[in-house]
């Protein structure tokens, strides 16, 4: 793999149990950090496995990184970047103005690329903190992660990702057939207008003020049920704290030495202030709640957990809206 000046170590970030490295730059600069792979027969001496091949990282001296089935179609990270660059050029988007965050596992087999683009569509929903369109691309060459594209809004002040509310706009493709570049161009053409139309929803959320006498009770019940059930009580405590104070908290949970009258295990939960959340304030509207959720989901040490939680936010917000009607 090329050594790049824009690499930075992420000691606490994992993809499953795998170490993750990060890279920053525009699309052209990021491409220099992408490794190349090839498939080879899975064999030892003259003995060859008839069902499996091995994927090796040719940018890292032929490091073997995974075994895959004979029917598996290898989709190179580099090919995806070439496709994106071609699509952006057709859409007349300036590649040099893109800002990317690239996450690669230690041997490069898994990739999560986030691209900020469409700078002319940066907008302020009304709180003084702008959002910019962001494209997420996930891929693997070890068969663990299907190729996927998703659009999001990215809140610059707190590095929050608000996933596209239209779940039908997500594209996923298993590595069982060749990827045609025109599919990506079609995806962007069909879905950029979708995410841009969501500006109206964020403005609406910003204008939907929470009534202190009625809505706050509904909000707290939503945190205790929907958020807690989806993300666990510890994450619900963090969301509650951000909504109440604008501060994130550290939640520790330990087993109580005594038991309840029903002889069930009980726990002691301790909450301590950790840090102010940039751009956060005690929640006055649904948009403030959305940002609290996106902060907690976007700031996870596990990329898998981060991705899963981010995808759950739109549904959770829909349930809150329905409860407040």
d(Cα 62, Cα 165) in Å, to the nearest integer? 41
d(Cα 45, Cα 125) in Å, to the nearest integer? 63
- The residues near 145 (Cβ < 8 Å, ≥ 6 apart) are 110, 138, 139
d(Cα 112, Cα 159) in Å, to the nearest integer? 16
Q: Which letter does DSSP use for residue 216 in this model? A: H
**H helix runs in 246-285, sequence order:** none
Domains of the chain, by residue range, sit at 7-196, 208-324
pLDDT, tens digit (0-9, with 9 covering 90-100), for 10-30: 678 999 999 999 999 999 999
pLDDT at 181 over 70: no
d(Cα 59, Cα 3) in Å, to the nearest integer? 11
pLDDT, tens digit (0-9, with 9 covering 90-100), for 71-102: 888 999 999 998 888 888 888 889 999 999 99
Output the pLDDT for position 252: 76
Is 98:88 a contact under the CB 8 Å cutoff? yes
d(Cα 239, Cα 293) in Å, to the nearest integer? 6
Output the pLDDT for position 264: 60
Output the pLDDT for position 257: 55
Structure tokens at 20: 């993750």
Backbone angles phi, psi at 161, to 5 degrees: -110, 115
d(Cα 150, Cα 307) in Å, to the nearest integer? 11
- The residues near 134 (Cβ < 8 Å, ≥ 6 apart) are 114, 115, 116, 117, 151, 152, 153, 154, 161
Residues β-bridged to residue 113: 102, 137
Q: Which letter does DSSP use for residue 101 in this model? A: E
């Amino acid at each position: 793999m090329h050594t790049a000046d824009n690499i930075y170590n992420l000691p606490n970030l994992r993809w499953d149990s795998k170490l993750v490295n990060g890279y920053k730059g525009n699309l052209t600069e990021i491409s220099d950090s992408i490794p190349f792979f090839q498939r080879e027969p899975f064999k030892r001496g003259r003995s060859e496995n008839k069902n499996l091949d091995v994927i090796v990282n040719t940018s890292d001296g032929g490091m073997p990184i995974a075994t895959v089935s004979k029917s598996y179609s290898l989709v190179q990270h580099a090919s995806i970047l070439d496709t994106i660059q071609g699509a952006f050029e057709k859409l007349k988007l300036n590649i040099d103005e893109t800002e990317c965050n690239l996450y690669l596992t230690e041997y490069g087999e898994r990739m999560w690329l986030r691209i900020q683009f469409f700078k002319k569509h940066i907008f302020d929903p009304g709180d003084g903190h702008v959002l910019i369109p962001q494209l997420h691309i996930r891929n693997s060459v070890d068969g663990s992660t299907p190729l996927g594209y998703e659009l999001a809004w990215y809140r610059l002040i707190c590095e929050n990702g608000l996933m596209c509310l239209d779940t039908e706009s997500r594209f996923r493709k298993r590595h069982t057939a060749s990827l045609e570049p025109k599919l990506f161009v079609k995806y962007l053409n069909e879905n950029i207008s979708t995410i841009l139309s969501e500006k109206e929803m964020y403005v609406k959320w910003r204008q939907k003020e929470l009534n202190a006498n009625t809505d706050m009770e509904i909000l707290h019940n939503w945190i205790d049920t929907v958020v807690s059930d989806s993300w666990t009580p510890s994450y619900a405590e963090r969301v509650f704290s951000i909504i109440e104070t604008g501060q994130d908290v550290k939640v520790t949970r330990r087993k109580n030495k005594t038991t309840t009258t029903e002889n069930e295990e009980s726990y002691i939960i301790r909450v301590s202030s950790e840090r102010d959340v940039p751009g956060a304030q005690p929640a006055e509207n649904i948009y403030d709640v959305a940002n609290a959720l996106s902060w907690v989901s976007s700031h996870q040490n596990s990329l898998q957990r981060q991705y899963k939680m981010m995808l759950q936010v739109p549904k959770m917000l829909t349930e809150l809206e329905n409860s407040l009607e």
